[in-house]
Structure 1
Amino acid sequence: MCLSTTPSGPAHPHAPHACPAHTLSPAQRQRIAVQALAGTVPITELADQHDVSRRFVYRQQALADRALADAFDPPVADTAVLFHLPVTPHWIHQLVLGLVLIGHCPLRGVVEICRDLFDYDLSLGTVHNLVRKAVAPARAANARTDLGPVRVGAHDEIFQNGRPVLVGVDTRSTYCYLLSLEDHRDADTWGTRLLELKDRGLAPDAVVADAGRGLRAGLAVALPEVPCRSDVFHAVHAVHAVVQRLENRAYRALDACDRLRHQVARRVRRGQPSDPALDARLARAADDEARAIARADQVALLAQWLRHDVLALAGPSHPDRLALFEFVRTELDARMPAAPDLLGLLVRYLRGQRDDLLAFAAELDDAFAALADPLDLDPGVVRELFAVTGLPDDDRRRWPRETVLRATRGEHYYPLAHAVDGIRRRTVRASSLAENLNSRLRGYFFLRRQLGHEYLALLQFFLNHRRFVRSTRAERAGHSPAEVLTGQPHPHWLELLGFTRFSRT
């Protein structure tokens, strides 16, 4: 076989030629910079010699100039004064709030920092009063926010020292519109707080929550027209908790059977006659072992189907999900006599929560149909695009399916892909944002045993008006939850409290 080594032509007729500046080595760039700094060769001539632009030469000259300046500038001493800070009572108040809210600092820690770093004595009572003084403007800012833009809310309950804290969060902006310490979490308490929020414009399209009775009953009384969807996370967590306990029982059955097998093997090694009672116990243990392993494996498989097929964001249509859900529940019900203490409660939970758990799938079907009808498409095509674009870029299952969709949809592919991405962002299956807020609140709650309404009002204000430094959602980065919710910018949270922030001049 003969292979020609002569290239037949460029790899691509439109391939651009390499830029000369890109082909220069670091040593060549350094020589250009030195000659430009020395001034012995005009800039235009240097550029012509190396077939580059004058702008490129000036850029190398600036790089070399900065490098020389950094090399010969004396290092700044650790004792050098960087800037002067006018410490006033006004600034001390801001420092206290920053330490408590940003730094999660306990009140006694604030006292210690002011004493050790600023040589300024503050009593514990003074720190408490400074924090409490910010509550009134914080409450006023909380009350001014219009809750009309909230479309899907996530409700939950968190406990501190045995008392419930009712939580409500907007799933799009993460704005916390409810953070209330209560004595009870019954329907009356939830209903009262939701009616107060209704007066501020709260009228969501849906609420996502767990199966708490008081929470759901209060929502039904205060906002009867708002459906309450079940939280997928809690359902999956409950199923996997049962799977884990069944697997633990299977491991215990394995250990019990192994111990009996070792006893039988030891008698054989010693030449002792067989023990009928021991053999009977081993036979029963082997049967228990086989049943426990099979039961754990079967329930684990059903749990995987429930999580990855029935309750997954991308999946079959709503009627198909209902059928699959009923299949899983029926199979679990059939195995309930073998473990009634574990499977009984789970089966009852799934039976009562089916429609609420799968409400998001019905919403997806409506969204797919609304997107497909104007283009005279089968909604199944939109569903496939929804599933494919949700796969990770490094998933090898994605690209063959996406290639087919690109070829069949043509110019409609990118608008459809953008539209289904919007559907994905709007679809809410879990109250995970409420759980996320609960985890953030724990960083404050552990600092004190007792919570008060005033402290929670200040926390709610701070979390809603503090801007995100970064976020996986582009619309949140650099904005506060209040700004994302209302679409209106607002001053810094310290300025909202009436302070003037320090700025170096």
Structure 2
Amino acid sequence: TIACQVHGAVSSLSDEFNVSRKAVYSAKYAAQSALKCLVTTNDESDVITSVNVDVPHLRRSIVALSITAPNSIRAIEEQIPLIYPGCKVSYGYIQGVIVEAQEQAKLFNEKVSLSAIKSVAIDEMFSQGDPVLAGIDLESGYLFSLSHEQKRDGETWARVLGEAKSQGLSPQHVVKDGAKGIAKGVSMSFEHAEQRDDAFHALYIVGKALRKVERRAYYYIDKEASLEKRLHKDVFDTEKKQQAMVDLLGVQAKCEQAIEQYESGTKSRNHLHQALTSISMKTGSLMTKKQAEALLTKAVDGLKNTEHKDGITAARYIKNRLKGLTLATQALHEKLLKLGELYPQECVEVACRFSERKRQLRKAKPWKIARYQKELVGSYQWLRLRLGKSASELMLQVEALHQTRHRASSAIEGFNATLRSYLYVRKGVNQGFLELFKAWYNLRSRRWGKHKGTSSYQNITGKKVDDW
């Protein structure tokens, strides 16, 4: 058990003793720990390191506890003696330290230049009924706006965005959801910015509607099965049998209709996914704005055919945003055509197909994985035969274009999810806390993603900060 160096040793032990692989690994680590205790002596002190806790160190810890995790002041008051035995601080002292840090954070946030930001996503969330307006850079992840307001109308958004504008913000693209206040605020602040409707919300709303249409279909399927069972049960009662037959015929008709309506909705979702890609998987040609709008129109018609109120609402949502949902596709199509001036057009199309399939492979159904993998290998081999070493360069350029097409507000939605836990613990929000949270969020070093090991502040200013 301890060795398990030969390939397949863990699986063999798992089969032999009829236990899980996890149990074998646990036994291995337990045995290793026991042997280590027997054969080694540990005369070292239990003390890892020693530090002198002065007032600046204590204040630093208080600020860190308040913002790196959703801790209340009472929780920090209880944690300080655990971290530094013999050290106690009052509620008021902790509150004073945090307020001072919030004021310093506000001054820091106002000095950052936002001129390097070109593509942004903006959104709003609520805390105890009050809106919190936020905006994030889609390239660097820099949080340029975070404001606690009483309203979320166009004038309020214009004022919040105007503050960012005074720091040099001048975006080329703004990704947003369907809120009218956001659209009005963006138009008032950045009249030349392209307003793109968020693909994430479109997919979410359609998916939510389809789940309800599906449940309706399953309801009638279950009802049909129950009536058939009742029909067989009451076979000797003529009157009940006739009534069951009438009920069954009616439910069968509704069941067939519900299934057809769900299939119509499923096709609509597929049309929506196709409209958001850069290439037509059927023809192999680059997706144009006109083709994307045609697919979205088909999606709208299919959702209407579901005859469900949520499906009709989703259809109306997409119909009202046909232009906004295709702006990212149009911009990417223009860039890919320019890339076609450097490489053969068919090579650009195959590289796009490779990039899209690679994304689809991450969420592919098990029975589709082998087909997708085979297609990816074939596409890469074809590009290598046509372009040689230049194939890798083309694929990198196409991938970079896909990563910067900015069609969804996932970045701001992810930030909202992070902030929401803090707001829940605090049972409310104030601008001071948001200023400190904003500074920490932008200065902290990220642990994963394409910007791993860097801060968003570093990405837009070029200045590295080792300690936020």
Superposition deviation, residue 298 in structure 1: 2.1
Superposition deviation, residue 390 in structure 1: 4.5
Cα 1:314/1:134, change in 2 over 3 Å = farther
Alpha-carbon separation, structure 1, partners of 2:339 and 2:458: 29
Alpha-carbon separation, structure 2, partners of 1:457 and 1:210: 24
Indicate the residue corresponding to 2:448 in structure 1. Answer: 471
Indicate the residue corresponding to 2:204 in structure 1. Answer: 237
CA contact (8 A) 2:296 2:322 kept: yes
Indicate the residue corresponding to 1:366 in structure 2. Answer: 334
Indicate the residue corresponding to 1:295 in structure 2. Answer: 261
Report whether the alignment pairs 1:330 with 2:301.
yes
Indicate the residue corresponding to 1:160 in structure 2. Answer: 127
Superposition deviation, residue 82 in structure 1: 3.2
1:126 aligned residue (84, 93, 96): 93
Alpha-carbon separation, structure 2, partners of 1:159 and 1:171: 22
**What are the equivalent positions in structure 2 for 1:138-153 lying under 5 Å apart?**
138-153=105-120
2:378 aligned residue (400, 407, 412): 400
Alpha-carbon separation, structure 1, partners of 2:320 and 2:164: 28
Report whether the alignment pairs 1:170 with 2:170.
no
**Number of residue pairs matched?**
414
1:383 aligned residue (349, 366, 369): 349
For residue 388 of structure 2, give the secondary structure of its aligned residue in structure 1: helix
Alpha-carbon separation, structure 2, partners of 1:234 and 1:442: 19
Superposition deviation, residue 274 in structure 1: 5.4
Superposition deviation, residue 71 in structure 1: 10
Indicate the residue corresponding to 1:22 in structure 2. Answer: none
Alpha-carbon separation, structure 2, partners of 1:313 and 1:106: 47
For residue 234 of structure 2, give the secondary structure of its aligned residue in structure 1: helix
Report whether the alignment pairs 1:444 with 2:422.
yes
Which of 167-176 and 131-140 deviates more? Answer: 131-140
CA contact (8 A) 2:227 2:244 kept: yes
Q: Which digits, 9 at most, give the CA deviation of each residue in 1:18-52, with x for residues without a partner?
A: xxxxxxxx9xxxxxxxxxxxxxxxxxxxxxxxxxx
Cα 1:88/1:285, change in 2 over 3 Å = same
Indicate the residue corresponding to 2:74 in structure 1. Answer: 108
CA contact (8 A) 1:267 1:273 kept: no
Report whether the alignment pairs 1:345 with 2:322.
no
Alpha-carbon separation, structure 1, partners of 2:240 and 2:179: 57
For residue 153 of structure 1, give the secondary structure of its aligned residue in structure 2: strand
Cα 1:119/1:321, change in 2 over 3 Å = same
Cα 1:246/1:85, change in 2 over 3 Å = same
Indicate the residue corresponding to 2:456 in structure 1. Answer: 481
Superposition deviation, residue 72 in structure 1: 8.6
Indicate the residue corresponding to 1:179 in structure 2. Answer: 146
Superposition deviation, residue 272 in structure 1: 4.2
Q: Which digits, 9 at most, give the CA deviation of each residue in 1:409-453, with x for residues without a partner?
A: 234322212211221221111000001111111232121112110
**What are the equivalent positions in structure 2 for 1:417-428 lying under 5 Å apart?**
417-428=395-406
Q: Which digits, 9 at most, give the CA deviation of each residue in 1:130-160, with x for residues without a partner?
A: 1111122211211111111111101111111
Cα 1:248/1:128, change in 2 over 3 Å = same
2:60 aligned residue (84, 94, 99): 94
Superposition deviation, residue 401 in structure 1: 1.6
TM-score, normalisation: structure 2? 0.83
CA contact (8 A) 2:136 2:143 kept: yes
Q: What is the identity, as a one-letter code, of the residue corresponding to 1:359? A: L
Q: Which digits, 9 at most, give the CA deviation of each residue in 1:190-220, with x for residues without a partner?
A: 0111111111111111011111111111111
**What are the equivalent positions in structure 2 for 1:249-260 lying under 5 Å apart?**
249-260=216-227
CA contact (8 A) 1:233 1:432 kept: yes
**What are the equivalent positions in structure 2 for 1:405-420 lying under 5 Å apart?**
405-420=383-398
Superposition deviation, residue 102 in structure 1: 2.0
Alpha-carbon separation, structure 2, partners of 1:73 and 1:365: 65
Superposition deviation, residue 314 in structure 1: 5.0
For residue 204 of structure 1, give the secondary structure of its aligned residue in structure 2: coil
Superposition deviation, residue 83 in structure 1: 2.7
Alpha-carbon separation, structure 1, partners of 2:191 and 2:356: 34
Superposition deviation, residue 300 in structure 1: 1.4
